[in-house]
A and B are shown apart, each in its own frame.
Chain A
Amino acid sequence: MMSSLLVRTLVSYLLVFGVPLILPVAFVKLVGLGGLRELVTYEARDTPLHRLDPRLKVLYPIAMGILSILLSWKFMLIVFGLSILPWFWLRPSSQRIRVLTVMVIGPAIGGFWSQGLYYLPSPPIHFLYQFPPTISWLGSPGLTTYGLIFGLEQTARVLVTVSTSMLILVTTDVSDFTWAFERFRMPPQVGFALTAALRFLPEMVSRTTLVLRAVELRGYDLSRPRWYQVTRWPDYVRRMSRCVVLITVPLLVGTLRGTTTMAMVADARGFGAARRRGSLKQHQIAAIDIWGYAVLIALVVTALVLNYLHIGARLYG
């Protein structure tokens, strides 16, 4: 039965297109447009993570990113574990965990799966499932074991940076980012741009949700067909594409109005008045910061030394 060309073709199409389809479905069902707010919304709490020196927080994802590039797969697993640990310390809300999981794991699965399909090692190739010619013309001869493992490695490397960056975003007030950037001699506009983006991204998500609601209230059909209503899907795609055009005008008008006001507010509050800004918080290095810096430096130095000694170094070529 499994050897029948038709069945093999069907299974192959399912593997190629079915798994990636899980991602948008998971997004719609578990996150939604409104859930995107949770991605970058600062969680105003008073935890040791919140109190860490902002400079350390800026350096943390960079350092972990370097480790993830330098180290071999086995050592990378340790780094990956280290990057996940602080989340247990933070204990975010279940809603945020759900959103973060979908938004981080989703693309990770996508990357892992695509490598399994399209990364071709040197022969002999071990196929988990070899595609028949009815689909291999698309470019993938099948799902390979090595490709999946390679995809897993690459995904874990990306996840280290994503996870550490997300952790910092939800535990750091943007004014602290601005302060840290300034201490790194970066222009204050960089900090302000980040501030504005992080502050108004959730606002933009809310406005988009509102405008989409308005489109429906005007009688525009945004309903999704069931997965098995195959003939309705092209019409759905057409309706959604047209909807993007429809909502652009009100979103653009609203955004431009908002940015004009925000620029005037920033001007009126003296942004750019002095070369070096002051700070409400007295950023004093505490014992926990010293430990943090020490661990971070030790990790990077260790990785560099190991790399130099060809122990646990990532192999290229």
Chain B
Amino acid sequence: MLVTGASGCGKSTLALTLAGLIPSRVHGELRGKVTFGGRPLSGLKPYEASQLVGLVFQNPNLQLINQTVQSEVAFGPENLALPQPEIAARVSWCLEVTGLAGMRQSATTTLSGGQKQRTAIAATLAMRPRILVLDEPLSDLDPVGAQEVLGTLRRLARDEGTGVVVVEHRVDEVAPWADRVVLMDDGRIIMDRPPRDAWADQQPWAKAGVGIPDLIRLAHAVPDAFPAGVPLSVDEALDVLRGSWFEAALARSGAARGDAAAARAAGAYAGVPAVPVLSWEGVSVDFGGNRAVDDVTLAVNAGEWVAVVGANGSGKSTLTGLTVGLGKPSSGVVRFRGQPVRPGRVFEHAAQVALLLQAADEMLFETTVIRELEFGGRFRAQPADPVLDVEGAVEFFGFRGLEQASPWELSQGGRQRLALAALLVGAPGVLVLDEPTTGQDAEHMRAFLRLLEAIRAHTGLTVVTVTHDIRGLASRASRVVLLGDGKVRLDGPASQVFAQCDELARWGVLAPPLARLQAGLLGAAAGEVLLDVDSLAAAVLAHAPAAVPSHGGTHPRGSAAAHPGARLDAVPP
């Protein structure tokens, strides 16, 4: 079961209630009851409830108490004072089903994000729960780690008969494996359906502020291409679309787009002089013999929005951290507006390059919103031509009336906005964002990206975004750089980089579903892909054949008019 909804809709509270931790461990008033086989869970002790319903928390770092994988998994059964053979059997089984059998002696601190999450799942499974509840298990994971975890959950449900409840906002990744989709809004369940029917009515999703997966939106925009119903995965969509009129129309539109893109590119690169703001010249970074960044030469030009993508550990954060003096290159030089960046002089370079950490909460130090915005001005000289002054930031970021509020009274999105505003006050020419959308639901992510676009329009800032979460960024960044094993593997417009799905996958990055669909249908001919649903649907419909297509039985152009729900303007953005 997939439980989804916007941030703050009550998903995590529901998960805690299911696990019997409310009100025994989390203060609150519980009305109604949660039962398992007729037994009320709220009346049970946590360890009794956890043998019926196990809860895996969001952050694996906080739930791994022991030092090795096997001792972590054994912790629960040991607490239950089970006989040694039973403990050993449970540990072996848990490690086997979570794919960690080869890592039982590994220290938990050395595991990757996906491995930590699987260890947390294994430790919860060791209590032998009949139902496993996972609270946003994918939020900090890159696509590879997410697939590891989803694969484990799939095996558990299919082979072991364990009920799995996943509370998650990365709907498109979980929906293909779910039997039920539950949508929550404002503390209530407003929809509970099988996934194929879950998006038949889009109003509840719009009301709940939850984004609809691109493939579903495409199916609604071009319903004749999907006569059997909405596809839940790219593979499913490919099965339906191969050999159909959609594929032919896509190929025709692709050829037309290729000519236009070539002309556009020639014009763009010939006419506009590139002014590098940031540059890395033959930069390498070594950590104790491991090369995190390997001979990177790269320039970011004024006004660009560059998305640096790559799997966890690909060197993204190391590379961008160098722009403010975090870390020291083993070789090469990093420049800001032609001047070398001095390693270690972070506070000096922070006036030129603002770096927003993923953990924005860690960047707030003051007691009120206004003091937070004034923070930089108290400790360093402000430039004559500030990007934003304090008053401007209060207005622009929507903090009017909240000036005296504590930062900790703001929502998570509000705190992230405040940290961003505080960085921008007075300072920089470049904004670097480290995983800004990771862990956010689709609505908050869209709001944040809209805010970034507004900032760029308002200030002309150059933006560098470091991420493994390419939702939303794909169609907004003017340029995408793929890092793999510390090297630049791809560099170009998003529409061209995301067309190279195999190369992206090779370096642990999953292209957006629409890109994978187009690449799957066109193969090597997909030199450029469309990254938003409206453009793709319009392109395909514009090149649809006049004759009746093999699927659907009606003319595709006619079908859009014949199905009111299929009109493009009816699809939520």
Contacts and interface: CB of A to CB of B under 8 A. Distances in A.
A280 B88 contact: yes
Nearest to B359: A210
Interface residues of B, number: 73
A203 B67 contact: no
A199 B65 CA distance: 6
A44 B347 contact: no
Interface string A33-47: 000000001111010
A202 B408 CA distance: 26
A214 interface: yes
A237 to B, nearest CB: 16
A215 interface: yes
B375 interface: yes
B290 to A, nearest CB: 13
A172 to B, nearest CB: 9
A269 B376 contact: no
B546 interface: no
Interface string B44-86: 0111011000110101011111111011001111111111100
A277 B365 contact: no
B87 A279 contact: yes
Interface string A266-302: 1111111111111110100000000000000000000
A253 B406 CA distance: 13
B144 interface: no
Nearest to B105: A44
B367 to A, nearest CB: 8
Given A218-B350, A278-B84, A267 B379 contact: no
A280 B74 contact: yes
Nearest to B377: A219
A250 B362 contact: yes
A264 B21 contact: yes
Contact of B380 (A44, A203, A219): A219
A254 interface: yes
Interface in B373-406: 375-376, 379-380
B341 to A, nearest CB: 14
Contacts of B351: 219
A216 B326 CA distance: 10
A41 B50 contact: no
B67 A173 contact: yes
B19 interface: yes
A174 B124 CA distance: 19
Contacts of B81: 273-278
Given A174-B66, A271-B79, A273-B81, A203 B105 contact: no
B316 to A, nearest CB: 16
Contacts of B108: 199
B34 to A, nearest CB: 15
B350 A199 contact: no
B79 A273 contact: yes
B105 A254 contact: no
Interface of A: 41-44, 46, 95, 173-175, 195-196, 198-199, 202-203, 207, 210-211, 213-223, 246-247, 249-250, 253-254, 257-258, 261-280, 282
- 8 nearest CB pairs, A to B: A270-B47, A274-B81, A280-B74, A270-B79, A269-B76, A267-B46, A216-B346, A175-B71
Interface of B: 19, 21, 25-26, 45-47, 49-50, 54-55, 57, 59, 61-68, 70-71, 74-84, 87-88, 91, 105-110, 123-124, 126-127, 288, 324, 326, 344-347, 350-351, 354-355, 357, 359, 361-365, 375-376, 379-380, 408, 422-423, 427
